[in-house]
Amino acid sequence: MVEPKSQKLLGTLILNLAVALGGIIMAWPILWMISASFKRLNEIYTFPPTIIPRNFTLGNYQRLFTDWPFGRWYINSLAVAVLVTLAVLFFTSLAGFGFAKYRFRGRQPLFMVMLSSTMIPFELILIPLFILMSRLGWTNSYQSLIIPFMAPALGIFLMRQYISTLPSELMEAARIDGATEFSIYWRVMLPLMRPVLAAQAILTFLGSWNSYLWPLTVMRNRDSMTLPVGMVSMMGSITAGSEPPVGASMAAATLITIPVIIVFLFVQRYYISGLTAAGVKE
Amino acid sequence: MASQNARALSVKTPRGRLRQDRYAPYFFISPFFILFTIFFLLPSLFAIGISFYKWKALGVPEFFGTRNFERLLKGDPIFWQAVKNTLFYAGSSLFIVAPLALLEALALNSKRLKFRTFWRAIYFAPIVTSTAAIAIVFRMLYNREFGFLNEFIMALGGMPVDWLGNRGIVKFSVMGVVLWRWTGLLAIYFLAGLQSIPDELYEAAAIDGATQRQRFFHITLPSLRPVMLFVAVIVSIGSIQIFDDPQILTQGGPANASLSVVQYLYTRGISDLLYGYASAVGVFLFVVIFILSMVQLRLFRGGDR
């Protein structure tokens, strides 16, 4: 039975309207944020809101760098995210290669141990890890945000899944040519892994860039904060009578989210393939 | 690998090469096991250990038996408040956010939707935003006196709502952020599931004269079952660990009305420095998540066969 034409048309219309309405709701907080970041306080709170600011100002952005160490926070976040991403790419691809392309004693149990490690919720170790970081003197420094997270189990799993699909014949050929096992990984395998490395890089970078709980726990000095921690601390600094930094925090929020959204629009494909591949475990 | 070894031998590689061949994989996987042991396994055991101790900040740990747990489970109304709030977050994520994500995926997958790529970008963009930044934006939108939301309601002739200050409403306000931030992510999983359904199934059904509704209930929904299970598990594990959104929106207030379990753990452990007690909360979370993970394994193993 084919639907009557008019009914089909009506359905299409409703579908398009509903998606558009939902889309406006989804886009609204972002639009509002960007627009508010270029306004003075009184205009931020006018209703109906102006999308294009009537009195365009860059004052909020300037305040970020004069009243808070925003540049420092940006460098901290960027440095940590880049370093942790590079380390994760190296260690997960190496371990994924080990698990995918070698048969060795204890492989299966070790793999199971690795997988089951994902069942430990981070909150269980929050306190001991915090104590450990204090004892090591790593609080307020980058390594506390990088070193413990350099070899995530899910990342290794993702890599192993991908590497298993690559042909082993190339390894054989390289081995006959006298290549070491590490150079087989480095010269033969890594170049073939571009898509999965891209997916892994995006997931790791985003995770680090947006993470809040752990940086909040270990980065206590104003100068060592990452962006999310720093920008939340801006809101906490409202003293009675002073003007709340509404415009400045919208400028901060814009600088945190917009570059990431723009990059995402270009690399969406890798991101989605990474998510869905990591999602479906065997 | 057996054949690999045979071939390696047949070309007479030097002895050193063979040894390296045998140990190489252990070197390759060792960074994970070293980091895991130092930063995850030992701390986990340590957490379980100190949950049986009374230990405040710089003081000396004092063996406390199971008293941390007794107090937590029997004499701590704030903890139970946090559990209830967290169950609210988990329940509404499961029964409101996830179904909405399915609807979203169906809409964004429909061939009858114009500008599909554009709308997908709009709906998926929130996934990559910083929760901290977004929670602060929502704090402005929720502002009781000047916030956009109340201005909008008043313009329509309604009464302003105390989004973040009313005990009964604040949890819904937190869920508003969760909904905005997470629906797209779940929709991506559903979308992947929808796209993996072979077109032939629909074509065959169409030839047999199935209506659109029949096709949806007899092909689409059953094919999505594994994805639904997967989403249900990640949603429940994820929302039990909710922290950022209520922390930044309300710090758990007013009067703990939006406090989550992880926020409670953080407050007890990092702010009050009650290491032993906070670890007992951690162990509680671990047990709950462990059970959920087991259910997950069961469901997926069972689902495949």
**Type of residue numbered A138:** W
CB B156 within 8 A of CB A240: no
The residue-averaged pLDDT of B72-87 equals 94
Please report, rounded to a whole number, the percentage of residues in chain A having pLDDT higher than 70: 94
Q: Quickly list H helices, A102-226.
A: 107-116, 122-136, 143-146, 153-164, 169-176, 181-183, 194-210, 213-218
Whether residue A268 contacts residue A276, with contact meaning beta carbons closer than 8 Å, is answered with no
Q: Is B148 helix (H, G, I), strand (E, B) or coil?
A: helix
B275 contacts on A by Cβ (under 8 Å): 127, 131
Separation of alpha carbons A15 and A203, rounded Å = 32
pLDDT in tens, B167-220: 999 999 999 999 999 999 999 999 999 998 888 888 888 888 888 888 889 889
- Touching B: A residues 243-282, CB under 8 Å: 246, 249-250, 252-253, 256-257, 260-261, 264-265, 268, 271-272, 275-276, 279-282
- Cβ contact B230:A279 at 8 Å: yes
pLDDT in tens, B241-262: 999 999 999 999 899 999 999 9
- Topology of the domain comprising A61-237+245-279: MetI-like fold (1.10.3720)
The pLDDT confidence band at residue B1, using thresholds 50, 70 and 90, is very low
pLDDT mean over B18-42? 88
Cα–Cα distance, B269 to B57 (Å, whole number): 9
Q: What is the pLDDT of residue B216?
A: 87
- What mean pLDDT, rounded, does chain A reach? 90
Query: What's the rounded Cα separation, in Å, for the pair B300 and B74?
Result: 35
**Cβ–Cβ of B282/A18 closer than 8 Å?**
no
| Residue of chain B minimizing CA distance to A120 | B286
Q: Report the residue from A29, A181, A256 with minimal CB separation from B20.
A: A181
The token pair that represents A4 in the structure block: 């009557």
pLDDT of residue A33: 95
> Do the chains contact at B130 and A110, CB–CB below 8 Å?
no
- Name the nearest CA neighbour of A146 among A191, A217, A223, A86: A86
In chain B, pLDDT over 90 holds for what percent of residues? 67
Q: Is B300 exposed, middle or buried (0-12, 13-18, 19+ CB in 10 A)?
A: middle
Per-residue model confidence (pLDDT) at position B302 = 53
How does the average pLDDT of chain B come out, rounded?
88
Q: In this structure, what are the phi and psi dihedrals at residue B145, rounded to the nearest 5 degrees?
A: -85, -45
**Mean pLDDT value of segment A179-207:** 93
Contacts of A217 in chain B (CB under 8 A): 266, 270
- Using the predicted structure, report yes or no on whether residue B3 has a pLDDT greater than 80: no
Q: Is pLDDT above 70 for A82?
A: yes
Q: What is the pLDDT of residue B15?
A: 47
The tokens of B37 are what?
């042991």
- State the pLDDT at residue A240: 46
What confidence tier does A237 reach under pLDDT thresholds 50, 70, 90?
low
The reported pLDDT for the residue numbered A42 is 85
At residue B53, φ and ψ (nearest 5 deg) are -120, 150
What's the pLDDT tens digit per position in B124-179? 999 999 999 999 999 999 988 888 999 999 999 999 999 999 999 999 999 999 99
Given CB atoms, is B36 within the 8 Å cutoff of chain A?
yes
Residue type, B156: L
Q: How many residues does chain B have?
A: 305
Domains and CATH numbers, chain B: 2-37 (no CATH), 71-304 (1.10.3720.10)
Helix, strand counts (H, E) of chain A: 14, 0
pTM of the model: 0.90
Specify the residue for token string 């973040």.
B164
Under a CB-based contact definition with an 8 Å cutoff, are residues B56 and B273 in contact? yes
CA distance B275 to B54: 8
> Would the CB atoms of A26 and B180 count as touching at under 8 Å?
yes
Distances (CA, A) of A89 to A95, A264, A273, A279, B196: 10, 19, 16, 18, 28
Q: How many CB pairs under 8 A join A and B?
A: 274
Confidence category of residue A243, pLDDT binned at 50, 70, 90: low
pLDDT of res. A281: 44
SS3 category, A39 = coil
Q: How confident is the model at residue B13 (pLDDT cuts 50, 70, 90)?
A: very low
Cβ neighbours around A46 below 10 Å, total: 12
What region does A281 belong to: left with phi over 0, alpha with psi -120 to 50, or beta?
beta
Q: Could you give the CA distance from residue B139 to residue A203 in angstroms, rounded to a whole number? A: 27
Is residue B245 within 8 A of residue B130, CB to CB? The reply is: no
Query: What pLDDT sits at residue B9?
Result: 44
Residue B112 to residue A231: CA distance in whole angstroms: 42
The rounded distance, in Å, linking the Cα atoms of A118 and B292 is 12
B chain contacts of residue A253, beta-carbon cutoff 8 Å: 130, 133-134, 136-137
Quick one: average pLDDT of B85-112?
95
> A33 vs A278, which has greater pLDDT?
A33
| CA distance linking residue A121 with residue A136, whole number of Å | 23
Inter-chain residue contact B43 with A276, CB threshold 8 Å: no
Question: Does position B301 have pLDDT exceeding 80, yes or no?
Answer: no
pLDDT tens readout for residues B109-138: 998 999 999 999 999 999 999 999 999 999
Tell me if A19 and B43 make a contact (CB, 8 A cut-off).
no
Q: Where residue A119 falls among pLDDT bands split at 50, 70, 90?
A: confident
Q: What pLDDT, on the 0 to 100 scale, is given for residue B56?
A: 85
What is the pLDDT averaged over residues A164-193? 91
Q: For chain A, how are helix, strand and coil distributed in percent, rounded to 5?
A: 75, 0, 25
Distance in Å, alpha carbon of B232 to nearest chain A alpha carbon: 12
Q: Give the domain ranges of chain A.
A: 61-237+245-279
Q: Residue B78: is its pLDDT beyond 70?
A: yes
* Residue B10 reports pLDDT greater than 60: no
Only one residue has tokens 């990452």, namely A226
Q: What is the pLDDT of residues A92-108, one digit of tens each?
A: 999 999 999 999 999 99
* Closest in A15, A131, A231 to B110, CB measured: A15
